[in-house]
Structure 1
Amino acid sequence: MPPHNVDRDRSGSSKPGKPPQQPQRSGMFGWLLALVIGALALLAIQAGAPRPQTMTWSEFVARYHDGSVEQGSIEYHAAREEVQAVVREMGRPVRVRVSIQGQTETYIPELKALTGGDYKTVSPSPFWQFIFSPYIVTLVVLLVIWLLLLRGLRSMSAGSGMLGAFGKSRHRILAKASTGVTFKDVAGVEEAKEELVEIVEFLKNPKKFTRLGGRIPRGVLLAGPPGCGKTLLAKAIAGEADVPFFSISGSDFVEMFVGVGASRVRDLFKQAKENAP
């Protein structure tokens, strides 16, 4: 994307316009926050819910005979092939489970004989039991959060939002004839001006030099203390050659994240090639 919008007034000059306003995404982040809170609450409920203690069949029979098993609390869960009941442990009720997987033909008749048929058979649909499993619910919530994050990052990148423009160059561009600076406006650096006149000739008429085997310079490094006229001289070159002028500070390439500076350098040269005469 271009770093800034360029608006033209009636006189033909260019001036940087205001960057487009980004759409509000507070609604999406509100839903995302609600889903995160819901997932954390679900995990907290799962972690805090008491789980039945495991007990062997012989222990369960002994507890039933001594009257520790509460009447009407015995359940046979057909889907999991286990028996659950509430047992009094030191005066407090404790839910226990007895696994009879693979041995239902043996233990179900014994359960009927033991309780006289006073138990409840729980037969939930395996499909709905799978769908509403706590692990599946948590996985679905996390998947929705991930999809919302991915969608938000893509929209930011497409709309040149915070993350989309993070690796873009922050240069400023002045259109042709908008610098208003020529070599006549630069004084005190006559030697540098004489050398740069050749560069302007290269930019204006490159075939004149390439026909004789000359190679167009890839660039010119202007060195000197602050305030000596380096930027003004560069603007004068662009003004004399009637080409766009790009301006960027060296500090814009420095970032705490690895690779961002190199990405901005590549983007700067890409924009310069696209605007080359």
Structure 2
Amino acid sequence: MELVLISGLSGSGKSVALNLLEDAGFYCVDNLPVVMLTVLVDMLREEKISKVAVGIDARSGGGIELLPERLQQLAKNGVRYRFLFLQAGEETLIKRYSESRRRHPLATQNRTLEEAIRHESALLMPLAELGQRIDTSELKANTLRDWVRQFIRGEPADGLTLLFQSFGFKHGLPLDADLVFDVRCLPNPFYDPALRPLTGRDAPVIAFLEAAPQVRRMREDIARFVGDWLPSYVRDNRSYLTVAIGCTGGQHRSVYLAETLCRQFTGQAPRVLVRHRGLA
């Protein structure tokens, strides 16, 4: 069975992810009580259903704290799973609910929207470390769909997935980052009119950056830090390590370094990925 679990904050894009999985042929169950997870999996295995996606969040009622135990039980029973946790900043969630005019599932007569968001965050954030996190604050729906496709495309890997992610500081720090490197001190191709519309994937920008000794030194320093500490994260039984690299706009310097480091570390972890928030 290919089991994908989707959790996260209300308004962060769980419905987008589950709809994509359903379109990809997964048998989808949303708002499942945690205590029913192993029962559902056993039942569907008997029915020979091979692709299953389950949404678990604060609407599922009590017992959310039992999820790590249930996942361990699934693993002991030979079920391989992947866990995706979606989140977004408080201001983004408030804006989304205001625009959609939908009611937050934890909002009550005595609890405002802001209080409901904070309450749900307190309930669910301990689950964020169970798998891969995606901060959807600045993502368009199509970009989220692409990232979820990448998430389900490969086979579940034993060991750590290393993700290099570029971003722009002007859009704020990504909430899903484990390590953050600020590269705004490097020469900026933005100030060259010919390079401004290009990205860190384009040859002229790459040539510009590789000609600067500071860029080479920054790349080597980041690679050395990640390389030195990667074994410690592996020993800590981490499933994912997200290394975020930020420049001002997330278009040139951070993109170049994320791409370069991804190539450099390919083969040093079971799975190495690269993503660019500023190019969405």
Fold agreement, TM-score > 0.5: no
> Whose radius of gyration is greater, 1 or 2?
1
**Greater relative CO (CA pairs within 8 A, separation 6+):** 2
Q: What TM-score does the superposition give when structure 1 sets the normalisation length?
A: 0.24
Larger % of strand: which? 2
Provide TM-score, normalisation by structure 2: 0.24
